[in-house]
Structure 1
Amino acid sequence: MVARGSEVRPRSQRRGAGRLVGVSLGAAVLLTLLTGCDVGKTFDGFGWPQNGITPEAHRMYDLWIASTIAALAVGVFVWGLIFWCVIRYRKRGDALPVQTRFNMPMEFLYTIAPILIVAVLFYYTAIVQTGVDKVDRPGEQPIVVEVVAFKWNWQFNYRDGKGKEAKTVASTLGTSDVIPVLVLPTGRPIRFEETSKDVIHSFWVPEMLFKRDVFPGNVRNVFEVSQLETEGAYVGRCAELCGTYHSMMNFELRVVSPDKYDQFMAAKTAGKSTQEALQSIGEDPFATKTHPFDTKRNDRNFNKTSAAGAGN
C-alpha cells in the first residue's frame, strides 16, 4: 500500500533532524579548521600560483582560494545528499517507501541557494577585478615604464610622465645576445604603458599574476600595480603566440630597493649602459633567471653540403 504524501513518520522525522544537526556541526567544525590555517599553502594553492609580489596578486589569489573552498563545500554537500538518498531510500523488500509529491522548503532551497551563491561570487569577483584593473590611483605619482615589444624581444623606456606625450629619460633594449633587464623599486606604484612594433605580443611576469596583451598601432594598453613587495629577479615572458621565436622572447624583472633604483636611474641618465648601471648598484649585470636564445643562424641553416652535392 502506498502511503499518502501528507503522512509523516515521527521516527523518521527525528532521524532527519538528527542528521541535519550532525551535518551542521560538521560544517561548522570544517569552517573553523579552514579559517584556522593557510588553506592555499596546505593544498598548494589549489593549482593557483603562489608567492605573488604585488597586492593585486594577493587579492586575486585570495579570491581563487575562497571560490575553491565554496565550490568544494557545495560539492561535498550535494555528494552527501546523493549518497544519503541512495542509502536511505534503497529498496527494502517489496514495500515502497513513503511517496512525496513535493517538498516546498527543499524546492525553495535549491532554487534560492544557487542564486545567492552566484550573486556572492559575482560581487567579490567584480570588486577584485575593479581593484586590479584600476589606473590613475590617487596618491604618489607612479613610475612610468613604456613596454615596447617587437619580434622577438623587448625595449623598456623609463618615462617622465604618462601618455604618448611624455619623454623617455632612459631605455633598456634587448638583443639576441643580451636579455633585457627591467629594473624597478619596491614600495612605489608602477604604471606600464604597452605598445608593439609589429604583431600582438603579451607582457607577463608570472609572480605578478597578471598579463596584458601588447597591441601594434595606436593602441596603448595600460595597467598599474600599487607596489612591488619583494626584491629579487623574476623571469618575464611573452604569453601570446607571435612567431618563430615566441617561446624564447623572455626578459627579466629585477626588483630592488628604492635607493638602489634611484642610483640605477642616475647611472642610466648619466649615459651608462644597463649592465654598467646594474654593476654600480651591486647587482648582476646580466639576467640570472633566463638566458639568450640560440637563433640557429649558422652555416647549417643553408645546408651547404647538400647544395655542394647538387652542383657536382
Structure 2
Amino acid sequence: MRRFAALAAGLLSLPALTSCSDLVSRGFLPGDRGTTDKTPLIMDLWVNSWIAALTVGIITWGLMIWVIVAYRRRKNTVGFPAQLSYNLPLEVFYLAVPLIVIGVLFVFTDRDQRAIDERYPNPDVVIDVFGKQWSWDFNYVKEQVHEDAGQQAHLTGDYGAPDRLPTLYLPVGKKVELHLQSRDVQHSFWVVDFLQKRDLYPGHEQYNPYIDITPNRTGEYMGKCAELCGEYHSEMLFKVKVVSQQEYDSHIADLRAKGNTGSLGSDFVRQPQSAPAPQLPEPAE
C-alpha cells in the first residue's frame, strides 16, 4: 500500500511539476496565446478539458487499483465473499457524477463555441477566400482588389518555405471576417497558429462557413488545406502576413496599381463536365 500511495502522489504532483512550461500551459498547441482574439478561448477550453479528463481518469484508476489491492483474495481464504445484488446509493453516485461532468463540459464548450463563432456586426476587413485544387484565391471585398490567382506550391523535399505561396495580408488589431468558399471539391482552411479550421463545401453557397478574428500579433503564419482533396493536397499551402495598418494600406495600393482590381470570381470555378450523350442503335428497317 505504501508503494501505491507513493505512485499516486507522484502522478498527482506531475501536472504541478510541469505547469511552469509554456508548451504545457497551452496544452502543446502551436502558436502563442495572444495570436488572435480567439486563441485564448480555444487554448483555455482545450487545456481545461484535458485537466478534467485527467482528474476523472486519475480518480477512476486510483479507485480501481485500490479495490484490486484492498480486496484481493488472501491465502487460505475459503469460499466466496458475501454477494450483493445491488447497492442503491453507489449506483446513484455512479450515474450522477458522469452526468454532472458531461453537463459541465457541455456548458463551457457551448459558451466558448458561441463566442468563437460570433460574427462581427461591422468588420473592418472582409475577405473572400476561395479554395481550389490546389491553391487559394483571396479577394479584399471592401477594397475591391485581389491577390494574384493562387498557384500550387512545389515541395522539393528541402527544408524551408515552398516557393510561390499565395499570401493573405491582414491588418493587426482590426476585425476581420473571412468568407470561405470552394471552387471545385471539399477543402479545409487552416491557419495553424490561429487554432481555427473550417471546411469548405462546394455547391452549398448558403452554408459557406466564415471565420471572424482580430489578429493581435504581427508576423508571418503558415496555412494549409486540412482536408484530403486530391493528388497534390500536400502542396495546397499559403501564408498569412499580419502587418501594420500602414503596411496593409500600402499593399492594397500596390495591388490596385498593378491592375488587380475587382475580384477573382466565378470565372475561376471549375465547370462540371457533362457526360457525352449515349449513342442509341439505329432502328432496324
TM-score (norm 2): 0.72
Deviation of 1:169 (Å): 2.9
Aligned with residue 150 of structure 2, among 161, 167, 174 = 174
Task: Kindly report which structure 2 residues correspond to 1:178-257, keeping only aligned pairs within 5 A, or say none.
Answer: 178-217=164-203, 219=205, 221-257=208-244
Change (3 A) 1:260 1:203: same
Can you give the 5+ residue segments of structure 1 that lack an aligned partner in the other structure? 1-21, 161-166, 274-312
- Offset at residue 188 of structure 1 (A): 1.0
Q: How far off its partner does 1:143 sit?
A: 0.6
2:116 match: 132
Matches within 5 A, 1:1-312: 37=19, 41-42=23-24, 45=27, 48-51=29-32, 53-92=35-74, 93-94=76-77, 102-135=86-119, 137-138=120-121, 140-160=122-142, 168-176=144-152, 178-217=164-203, 219=205, 221-271=208-258
Larger-gyration structure (1/2): 1
- Relative to structure 1, the CA distance from residue 70 to residue 55 in structure 2 (aligned partners, 3 Å threshold; closer, same or farther) is same
Query: After TM superposition, where is structure 1 displaced by more than 6 Å over at least 4 residues in a row?
Result: none
Q: By percentage of residues, which structure has more helix?
A: 1
How far apart, CA to CA, are the structure 1 residues paired with 2:109 and 2:20? 21
Aligned length: 241
Q: Secondary structure at the match of 1:193?
A: strand
Contact 1:172 1:181 in 2 (8 A): no
Residues 234 and 252 of structure 1 are in contact (CA less than 8 Å); yes or no, is this contact kept in structure 2?
yes
Indicate the structure whose relative CO is greater, using CA pairs within 8 Å and at least 6 residues apart: 2
CA shift for structure 1 position 218: 5.5
1:103–1:231: structure 2 CA closer, same or farther, 3 Å change rule? Answer: same
Residue by residue over 1:172-193, the C-alpha shift from the partner in whole angstroms, topping out at 9 and shown as x without a partner, is 3223572211111111111111
Is the CA contact (8 Å cut-off) linking 1:54 and 1:225 kept in structure 2?
no
The 1:43–1:132 alpha-carbon spacing in structure 2 relative to 1, beyond 3 Å, is closer
**Does structure 1 conserve the Cα–Cα contact (< 8 Å) formed by 2:31 and 2:194?**
no
The letter of the residue matching 1:122 is F
Q: What root-mean-square deviation, in Å, do the aligned CA atoms of Structure 1 and Structure 2 show?
A: 3.3
Q: Which runs of 5+ in 2 are unaligned?
A: 153-162, 261-285
Following superposition, the deviation at residue 40 of structure 1 comes to: 6.9
Name the TM-score, length of structure 1 as normaliser: 0.66
The letter for the 2-side match of 1:70 is A
Percent identity of the aligned residues?
37
Deviation at 1:235, TM superposition (A): 1.3
